[in-house]
Amino acid sequence: MTTVQSAVAPPGKVRLPGTGMFVMAVLILFFGFYIIYPIVLIFIQSFNAEGVIVGEYRFSFVNWVKAFEEPGTLESLGNTIVVFFAYTAVAFPLAVLISWILARTPIRFSRGLEFMFWVSFMLPALTTTIGWTLLLDPYFGFINVMAKNVLFLDGPLFDIYSVEGIVFAHLMGNAISQKVMLLTPAFRNMNVTLEEAGRVSGAGRLRTMMRITLPVMVPPMVVVFMLNTVRMFNSFEIEQILGTPIKFYVYSTRIFSLVREVEPPGYGEATALASLTLIIILIFIPLQRWLLTRRQYTTISGDYKPGLIHLGPLQPFAFILVVFVVALLTVVPVLTLLGGSFMTRAGFFQATPTYTLDHWRTVLADPIFFRALSTTFIIAISTAIISPVMFSMVAYVLVRRNWPGRLALDSIFWVSAGIPGMLSGLGLLWVILDTPGLNWLFGTTWILIIVAILQGKLTSIQMFKSTFLQMGQDMEEAARTAGAGWLYTYFRIWLPLIAPTMILLGTLNFVLAAGATSSVILLASRDTVTLSLLALEYMTTNVGAAREVAGIISLFIVAMTAGLALVARWFGFQVGVKDRGV
């Protein structure tokens, strides 16, 4: 006779939650506190007429009324949208063309050129903006000085301190490179038989591209566009450097001005503007996630056939176009920074002496610089170590564990995808001010590390999720059969397999942390200033050789990130599972 035990707990006994429920509860509470709670608190504080008085609440619409009455507040929101669509109108078609050339034509050094767009993406926007400012400043920019001498112009050839200059700086930042990174693999996975069918029917190259290639690639292009749309409010450095001198404010620079540059601080208007922006972002986030999870077009199937299309006499011109764009995005700004750092005044060739080492001596003799260098390295290296481990474990739980609350945890990260760095920083500032016992975090390295780690959360988790989904469960099942727990299985089975991905994401998060500005600027103090914040401070200070000094500081950021990338690339080949041969 077989005794069947009931799954229901006996009367009088309470069934305790399992380990999975406890782990999920901890994860949801932890990430919810640092991701969702700051945003909720911003919305609540936007109705608080008491301002920054901690613990005091008097709800009214006075902050919203001020925000709508002040022309500059809503105007900054409109400026953000105008600038975004202006540089997107240029960057998106150009990125599509370059991606198609790299993936669908036999261009020379295609993999190397594609990697250079990754390099461009890894260069902080602050670095490229400073470099192009030294070239296009209306008074001492290299290009404008040469144009005045050669073309005998009375004014500058191009003034970077303008709306057009801000759009150009975005194009030279990562507006093009990010799209090329995302679109090139999608174009490479397209089945060449679709284009061959068009050619057989008598269509030329241009018509085939317009009637077949681009329509088939609409889904990934729409996804890339939406990914960039929800991040339109993330820009800060470019507008702070180029827009502030001409009184041109966007969303992020307006919030920074209200919180840090006016007396008394306009916290009420800042939170109202942030809340209004949050409503706009929350409209796009569900649409973005829906687009990312759709599967409408199939370009790889059982009859998949890779192939390239030769452009004939246009092939050399395509190669020149890609090389030219790569040079503008990477080589030109870095070499400009390096050359300008050795000039008495960048662009003034008539200065006596023309070249000097004084700027380097100024930087290397400044104790604030070394403190900023130390702070930046601590934040970046902590982020590079902690974030891959933390988010790989979160991804493991989301993919491999069937625990309750997975959808809620995953939704928290998706909601955070479109939250701008300035809004996130403002929210955490309110959390610190409003939560008893957390005031000590303000201005410390600890809060900057937390912010730096969290800013790469979605990308890290999605990449780790895709890695786990590609691996079978037989090894894990064998380990569990042998009596290993999920934590032991993770470190002994999965960690060696995902080591290359961890190196990649550790490097990426190091780069993002080293160049972070908008997400940390409201939380940093003079004692915890980073290299990017120090360079930004010099660029917005019209004193002496401030721009040359800012260029040198940004070169240290480039050297730090490039050096780590090279080390990580070498180390990445040494870890993981290797082929031992037969």
| Distance (Å, whole) CA 25 – CA 19 | 10
- What tens digit of pLDDT does each residue of 270-284 get? 777 777 777 777 776
Is the confidence at residue 438, as pLDDT, over 50? yes
| Distance (Å, whole) CA 494 – CA 496 | 6
Which of 12-21, 384-393, 464-473 has the highest average model confidence (pLDDT)?
Answer: 384-393
User: What pLDDT is stored for residue 406 in this prediction?
Assistant: 79
Query: Where does the pLDDT of residue 70 fall: very low under 50, low under 70, confident under 90, or very high at 90 and above?
Result: confident
Which residues, 6+ apart, have CB-to-CB distance to 309 below 8 Å?
A: 104, 105, 192, 195, 205
* Residue (of 140, 28, 1) closest to 544 by Cα position: 140
CA angle 114, 190, 313 (to 5 degrees): 65
Q: Please report, to the nearest 10 degrees, the dihedral formed by the alpha carbons of residues 224, 226, 228, 231 taken in order.
A: -150
More confident residue, 86 or 350: 86
User: What pLDDT is stored for residue 201 in this prediction?
Assistant: 61
Instruction: Using a cut of 0.95, tell me whether the model's pTM lies above it.
Output: no
Is the confidence at residue 166, as pLDDT, over 50? yes
**How far is CA 521 from each of CA 157, 279, 547, rounded to the nearest angstrom?**
34, 23, 20
User: What pLDDT is stored for residue 90 in this prediction?
Assistant: 93
**How far is CA 13 from each of CA 3, 8, 10, 16, 20, rounded to the nearest angstrom?**
21, 10, 6, 9, 20
Average pLDDT, the chain: 78
Task: Report, as an integer, the average pLDDT of 358-364.
Answer: 89
Task: Report, as an integer, the average pLDDT of 413-419.
Answer: 71
Q: Domains of the chain (ranges plus CATH)? A: 60-299 (1.10.3720.10), 357-577 (1.10.3720.10)
User: What pLDDT is stored for residue 297 in this prediction?
Assistant: 41
Q: What is the DSSP letter of 183?
A: H
* Residue (of 186, 207, 205, 197) closest to 297 by Cα position: 186
* Residue (of 382, 380, 223, 375) closest to 289 by Cα position: 223
Letter for the amino acid at 444?
Answer: T
Tokens representing 569 are: 């690339």
User: What pLDDT is stored for residue 4 in this prediction?
Assistant: 41
User: What pLDDT is stored for residue 169 in this prediction?
Assistant: 93
Task: Report, as an integer, the average pLDDT of 361-386.
Answer: 91
Q: What is the DSSP string of 12-45?
A: T-PPPP-HHHHHHHHHHHHHIIIIIHHHHHHHHH
User: What pLDDT is stored for residue 418 in this prediction?
Assistant: 62
Is the confidence at residue 195, as pLDDT, over 70? no
Task: Report, as an integer, the average pLDDT of 285-302.
Answer: 51
User: What pLDDT is stored for residue 197 in this prediction?
Assistant: 59
